[in-house]
Each structure stands twice: as C-alpha cells, then as structure tokens.
Amino acid sequence: MSDAAAPQPTRYVRPGGLTDKVFNRLVAAATRAGLSVWGSRVLAVRGRKSGEWRTTPVNLLAHGGERYLVAPRGHTQWVRNIRVAGGGELRLGRRVEEFRAAELADADKPEVLRAYLKRWKFEVGVFFDGVGPDASDAELLRIAPGYPVFRVLPAR
C-alpha cells in the first residue's frame, strides 16, 4: 500500500447510526449495573477543558500480563482527555479503579492491536477497514498511528 493510504494520527470515526448509539448505551448501562460485557468498563476521564468527568464504555484488554485500552475510533475525545489527565477511572458497577495511563509508541502496538482484534473483531472490526487479527505485523504497524493504545497502570 502507498503511504497516502496510511491512517493519519488525527484519524477519528464519529459515533453514528442507531445500532451504534443503542449498543453503546446498552453496554454502558450493563457495565454501570456491574455486569461486564466481554471485559467492558465505563471509562471516566476529566475533561481537558471543563475538568468535569466524562464517561464512555470501553473494552479493557488483558494481554501478556498487562491491561490496555485501545481506541478503535481513533483520536477521540476520551483519548485527548486521557493524554492531558494522565489517567482516569475504570468503573464496573460500584467498583471504581483509579489508574494512570501510558500511551504506547506506534512500534509497540501491533501485538496489542492483534490481541484486541482477536477478542473484539465482531464488535469493532468495522473501524479497522478490513484489517483483522491475521494481518501481518507490517500491516498492523502501518495502521498503528490511527489507533491510540494506552497501558493501564496502577494509580500512584
């Protein structure tokens, strides 16, 4: 593929469609009630401008003894907020886990993206433009700039 086809670091896919909005709301409601749907959590991060808590459902990936948050829609508001805040909270029912976030360099993403796609391709595959868990490391590295990944670390 040519470099022109490579995702840009500002890649962002807006939420849309009835299914998307309904699905996200259902997952968020179940997670708030304490029921994790395939590893779901409600991510809470302080807004970078308002300072108010912002929440969104996310898939928490456990891989290789570490935990990760992957942004399949790209450089979303939660991604921008977590970069400024340096962390946030993962919520499941009444359980609240404070955490710090360390963003991965693009070169470190292929293995995590592959694991994420193996686990949730049925749900998020549409955001990966045909790239799946069987893609080569080179292909995953090519798309890496458009998919922020954060390692979840214990709060200080």
In a domain, 128, yes or no: yes
Distance of alpha carbon 150 from alpha carbon 49, whole angstroms: 21
Residues 6+ apart with CB under 8 A from 13: 72, 73, 74, 127
In a domain, 26, yes or no: yes
Q: Is 83 exposed, middle or buried (0-12, 13-18, 19+ CB in 10 A)?
A: middle
In a domain, 63, yes or no: yes
Domain residues for the domain of 30 are 11-154
> 152, 155, 148: which is closest to 66 by C-alpha?
152
**Residues 76/79/85/88 CA torsion (nearest 10 deg):** 110
| % of the chain beyond a pLDDT of 70 | 91
CATH of the domain at 29: 2.30.110.10
- DSSP assignment letter at 75: S
In a domain, 34, yes or no: yes
The least confident of 27-31, 65-69, 126-130, 136-140 is 27-31
What's the pLDDT tens digit per position in 63-115? 999 999 999 999 999 999 999 999 999 999 999 999 999 999 999 999 999 99
Q: 45 pLDDT exceeds 90?
A: yes
Residue type, 39: G
pTM: 0.88
In a domain, 3, yes or no: no
H helices of 45-145, where? Answer: 77-85, 110-124, 137-143
- CA distances 62 to 65, 70, 140, Å, are 7, 11, 19
In a domain, 49, yes or no: yes
Q: How many domains does the chain have?
A: 1
In a domain, 110, yes or no: yes
In a domain, 6, yes or no: no
